[in-house]
Homo-oligomer: A and B are copies of this chain.
Amino acid sequence: MKKIINNVENIAAEMVSGFVKTNPAKFKQLPETLAVARVDDDFVNGTNVGIVSGGGSGHEPLHLGYVGKGMLSAAIAGQVNTSPTPDQIYKAIKYADKGKGVLLIVKNYAGDVMNFDMAKELAEFDDITVKTIIVNDDISVEDAEDTQGKRGVAGTVLVEKICGAAAQNGMDLNSLAELGQKVIDNTKTIGLALSAATVPAVGHPGFKLAEDEMEYGVGIHNERGYATEKLAPSAVIANELVNRIMKAFGSTNGEFAILVNGLGATPLMEQYIFANDVVNKLNELNIKISFAKVGNMVTAIDMHGISLTITKLENDWKSYLRQDAQTVAW
């Protein structure tokens, strides 16, 4: 395993420290936590609903890169691929609350859901109103009753952006939770890997793909996908992902946002080529794209791969997406 680190145990702590130290005017680390929080005047003197997210490390810039005006109030990093702990989440909620309550944006993994749930109970004990929305945009896994349900992946950042902008504009907690849930229901993602990620504590790639293989439907923790196939041209991959996602939507009416997301080790060169193919395919299907984003937004450590997220836009979502955000990574 080749990584620029000091030791495996300190990865999350040193990463958060590096993030805060290179942005000292905008963020601080909450005491005794791996939580990054806003310190700008707008926040300090503000009275908006707080938005808190977090999760295991390894998906950077998610979530710390999205802390800032117009997105998150605070974000908590767990150990690599491990949910943050309730005490730290609780501290972030407490810091984010301005008397109007706090929205928790949680990716649908058992550890995250339960730890955020415990934090919510701690905060409610302090009379802070807390609502939780669970992001589950990965349609490469079935949404069956007898499983954990779909995973939360790249679509999370669109949920954070839309809710963040609405909160910035003064929306109340109940409406925000409703809005967030609607965005989640309208957001679908599929991932593709050319090679797996190396989890530092494990020391080797999570699974092996041959020199001429790729895998459709992977998750952001090396979860295997729905099909291993021969490596195909970008346009073929774009067709598969667009078709599968649009089939899940059922209809091509309305306006859509797209997110082409690099999974960590994928050069932007490949991401833009793939984005070109996605847009071509959507144009061919007469699907209206009102917002597009390309880049490493929600990664899987050093996975070489890409994901495509499509959100069907309603109401003001387009303007929420386009609204200015003062974060490091949006």
Contact = CB atoms under 8 A, between A and B. Distances in A.
Contacts of A296: 268, 296
B301 A18 contact: no
Contacts of A118: none
Given A4-B274, A15-B276, A268 B233 contact: no
Given A18-B279, A296-B296, A273 B11 contact: yes
Nearest to A195: B2
A306 interface: yes
Given A2-B211, A4-B234, A279-B18, A302 B272 contact: no
The majority secondary structure among interface residues of chain A is mixed
A219 B270 CA distance: 21
A9 to B, nearest CB: 12
B4 A293 contact: no
A61 B22 contact: no
A247 interface: no
A49 B249 CA distance: 48
Interface of A: 2-7, 11, 14-19, 21-23, 57-58, 60-61, 65, 80, 194-195, 211, 214, 231, 233-235, 237, 258, 260, 264-277, 279, 292-296, 299, 301-302, 304, 306, 328-329
A68 to B, nearest CB: 13
21 contacts: A2-B194, A2-B195, A2-B211, A2-B214, A2-B231, A4-B237, A4-B273, A4-B274, A6-B235, A7-B233, A15-B269, A18-B277, A18-B294, A21-B276, A22-B275, A57-B269, A60-B269, A61-B268, A80-B269, A264-B267, A265-B304
A5 B276 contact: no
B275 A18 contact: yes
Contacts of A17: 276
A296 to B, nearest CB: 7
Given A21-B276, A267-B302, 6 more contacts: A2-B231, A4-B270, A14-B272, A15-B273, A15-B276, A60-B267
Contacts of A267: 58, 60, 264-265, 299, 301-302
Counting chain B CB atoms within 10 Å of each CB, the highest count among A22, A65, A274 belongs to: A22
Nearest to A1: B211
A96 B293 CA distance: 26
B279 A234 contact: no
B260 A11 contact: no
Contacts of A231: 2
Nearest to A279: B21
B21 A269 contact: no
Given A5-B234, A6-B234, A14-B276, A269 B58 contact: yes
A5 B270 contact: yes
Contact of A272 (B18, B293, B294): B18
Contacts of A14: 234, 272-273, 276-277
Tell me which of A6, A237, A269, A277 has the highest count of chain B C-beta atoms within 10 A of its own C-beta.
Answer: A269
A196 to B, nearest CB: 12
Contacts of A277: 6, 14, 18
